[in-house]
């Protein structure tokens, strides 16, 4: 004999063992007290229905898919700005801008293509120190950051404008495998 939660009334049916449901035990208290079977979960396949472990109705289209094939089908998105920043770095090292006074142009171009930087000053300093192997001075950093924040120099967003700003030739572009920046000696759409 089992008792309900109040403990005063007795039920004449035996309690069934708990049903395993998603790693948890689910006691069918309603059916024990009222002598009814719980509703059976159903799955629809074509015109048929089938009893399944889960306690909800599931259509075949909602069945889990093979994750390997789903991941293989998706084409990864092209990360434009990081790719362009890497290409600016390659060009600056190739041209030897680190040892000239024109490093300012490559630093500005790199900052223009890093709009999500939370601390642009630190990002620029870190880039110049570890990628270009030249640590910028405080005055150089101040000048570049001031130019970027106050927009004193017009930004070169297009591939051809940035190529003119950095003076990138087609031969350098092919040698360095640069794809996101144009060339000064070749027209844009040839």
Distance CA 165, CA 90 (A): 15
106 neighbors 88 (Cβ within 8 angstroms): yes
Distance CA 160, CA 184 (A): 7
Which residues are bridge partners to 3 per DSSP?
10
What is residue 35's predicted lDDT score, i.e. its pLDDT?
55
Average pLDDT of the residues of the chain: 77
Report whether pLDDT(50) > 50.
Answer: yes
Distance CA 90, CA 44 (A): 58
Report whether pLDDT(31) > 50.
Answer: no
Average pLDDT for 173-187: 93
Distance CA 111, CA 77 (A): 22
107 neighbors 144 (Cβ within 8 angstroms): yes
Average pLDDT for 116-145: 94
Distance CA 111, CA 117 (A): 9
Angle of helix 138-150 versus helix 120-130 axis, rounded to 10: 130
- From the list 147, 83, 96, 93, the residue with the least C-alpha distance to 120 is 147
User: Could you state, in order of their start, the residue ranges of all structural domains in the chain?
Assistant: 2-59, 80-175
What is residue 133's predicted lDDT score, i.e. its pLDDT?
93
- From the list 110, 102, 109, 91, the residue with the least C-alpha distance to 173 is 91
């Amino acid at each position: 004999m089992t008792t309900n939660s109040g403990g005063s009334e007795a039920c004449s049916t035996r309690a069934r063992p708990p049903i395993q449901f998603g790693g948890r035990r689910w006691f069918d208290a309603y059916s024990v007290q009222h002598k009814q079977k719980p509703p059976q979960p159903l799955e629809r396949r074509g015109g048929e229905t089938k009893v399944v472990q889960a306690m909800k109705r599931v259509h075949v289209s909602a069945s889990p898919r093979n994750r390997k094939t789903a991941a293989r089908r998706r084409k990864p998105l092209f990360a434009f700005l990081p790719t362009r920043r890497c290409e600016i770095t390659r060009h600056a090292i190739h041209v030897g801008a680190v040892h000239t006074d024109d490093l300012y142009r490559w630093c500005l171009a790199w900052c223009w293509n890093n709009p999500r930087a939370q601390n642009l000053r630190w990002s620029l300093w870190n880039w110049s120190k570890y990628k270009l192997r030249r640590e910028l001075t405080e005055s150089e950093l101040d000048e570049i950051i001031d130019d970027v924040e106050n927009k004193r120099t017009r930004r070169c967003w297009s591939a051809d404008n940035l190529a003119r700003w950095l003076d990138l030739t087609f031969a350098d572009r092919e040698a360095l495998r640069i794809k996101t920046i144009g060339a000064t000696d070749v027209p844009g759409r040839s």
